[in-house]
Amino acid sequence: MGFSEKFVWGAATASYQVEGAAYEGGKGEHIWDVACKRGRDIYHFHTAESGCDHYHRFREDVAIMKETGLKAYRFSLSWTRLFPDGRGELNPEGVRFYNELIDELLRAGIEPYVTLFHWDYPYQLYLRGGWLNPDSPVWFEEYAAKVAELFSDRVKYFITVNEPQCFIGLGLYKGEHAPFLKLSPEEALLAWHNALKANGLAVRALRAHAKQPLQIGIAIANDVLMPYTQADAALAEAENFIPRTDNFFTNSLFTDPVVFGRYPEGMAEAFGAEFIYDQADMETIKCDIDFIGLNIYHGSYVKSDGKGGAVRVTPGMNMPLTDMRWPVTPESLYYGPKAFYKRYGLPIYITENGVAVTEWPSADGGVHDAARTEYIRGYLRQLKRAAEDGADIRGYFYWSFMDNFEWAEGFSKRFGLVYVDYDTKQRIPKDSARAYRDIIAANGADL
């Protein structure tokens, strides 16, 4: 037993993190462009204006993907590369770029998995209220419909939104990501509600305008809670979906409305907010997705507090930390997918999992990232265990294919299988890329 013969092995990126060409080819500004121009919220005033230059070097990158053995590439479309103002006139240069990228992937035998929105909200629509504007769901619906018309003849797999926990929770509530706002709980929940409506409309628009049958899903950020001892297993599983105070990272806040058509009980109370919405909206929000994408990097261990609740267990001094200061917890790729599959009964993709490591080329010109290789193997062993225990795991996308712009952290963190020299744009496949190639070739049999 193990991964199925049709298991999808891939890697992922996002448009602003890798494309560069921020002011080329007719692209309009989005909120991260503007944040980088202001600079004050980004590490060392870094900007992804040229970045990895995937826009000009995508053929070289696809060749490296093929050499690495990737079967799929998950990437996002830049909304403003297609619609410079978010709506209105379509930009032919943006259409050309994505057409050429998709065609190049297919020639290489690599399946494109396309994300419609990965945080780079059009600045002109932001000036009109962004996700707080009651028309924002329709704006996203229009965008999704055009994407289907343009690309669904060749693209079968679409992800509507990536990590609402981040673009709402961190961007509009915690003030840690663009546009760096700290809205009230009531305002943030309204934006969340509109994003859910947008997702529901986008799913329907993709299907209505599709040129072939599609597989459509969402990708959410996960805060996986794991049992400290086996006696805590049921407790940890339940705690994964209970709204927690002041926290958009509760696993059920997006998926319960999308799958079940209802918010998790106690959500508004957890935020201490008065949350009023039209119940009829839930008919729009509930939609027929085909899979759930989980972005899992780490988890937290919990145990009983002796009062029917749970407390987190403080990690010991020997707990390894990544360059993001995240704990290395491979079991999160076991407990997370299992809990989601049990609750929702939908196929699971790991749409992001990876590690930032401090590294640089050695004297021999290579990048010898043993820690990343060990990370990948350890997490995949646990994912394989989840599959063997009955969870329907369809694929795994390493984050990320190449080193890139890590949002507010700028270029200070390196997640990639491929090293990027940001001055020369040279690509160097790391040792982990070759290790991943071998894992793919064996379909994970020898983890």
Band (247; pLDDT cuts 50, 70, 90): confident
Where do the H-state alpha helices sit in 165-294? 185-209, 233-239, 252-260, 267-271, 281-285
Q: Is 246's pLDDT higher than 80?
A: no
Q: Is 168's pLDDT higher than 90?
A: yes
Contact between 82 and 90 (Cβ < 8 Å): yes
Mean pLDDT for 42-61 is: 96
**The predicted structure's pLDDT at residue 244:** 80
| C-alpha span between 330 and 14 (Å, rounded) | 24
**The predicted structure's pLDDT at residue 15:** 98
| CA 414 to chain CA centroid, nearest Å | 16
| C-alpha span between 158 and 120 (Å, rounded) | 17
| C-alpha span between 92 and 104 (Å, rounded) | 18
Over residues 364-374, the pLDDT tens digits come to 999 999 999 99
Contact between 161 and 117 (Cβ < 8 Å): yes
**The predicted structure's pLDDT at residue 265:** 92
Over residues 59-95, the pLDDT tens digits come to 999 999 999 999 999 999 999 999 999 999 999 999 9
Contact between 241 and 250 (Cβ < 8 Å): yes
Tell me how long the chain is: 447
**The predicted structure's pLDDT at residue 10:** 98
**The predicted structure's pLDDT at residue 182:** 97
| C-alpha span between 111 and 362 (Å, rounded) | 33
Give me the amino acid identity at 306.
Answer: G
| C-alpha span between 441 and 214 (Å, rounded) | 27
The β-bridge relationship of strands 310-312 and 299-304 is antiparallel
> What proportion of the chain, given as a percentage, has pLDDT over 70?
100
Residues designated as active site: 163, 352
Contact between 291 and 351 (Cβ < 8 Å): no
Half-sphere exposure of 74 (CA within 13 A, CB side): 32
Q: Is 245's pLDDT higher than 80?
A: no
Distance set, CA 28 to CA 32, 96, 197 (Å): 11, 16, 25
Mean pLDDT for 320-340 is: 97
| C-alpha span between 88 and 228 (Å, rounded) | 53
**The predicted structure's pLDDT at residue 314:** 85
Torsion region of 25: left, alpha or beta (phi above 0 gives left; psi -120 to 50 gives alpha): left
Over residues 346-386, the pLDDT tens digits come to 999 999 999 999 999 999 999 999 999 999 999 999 999 99
Over residues 175-234, the pLDDT tens digits come to 999 999 999 999 999 999 999 999 999 999 999 999 999 999 999 999 899 999 888 888
Mean of pLDDT over the chain: 96
How many DSSP H helices and E strands does the chain contain? 16, 13
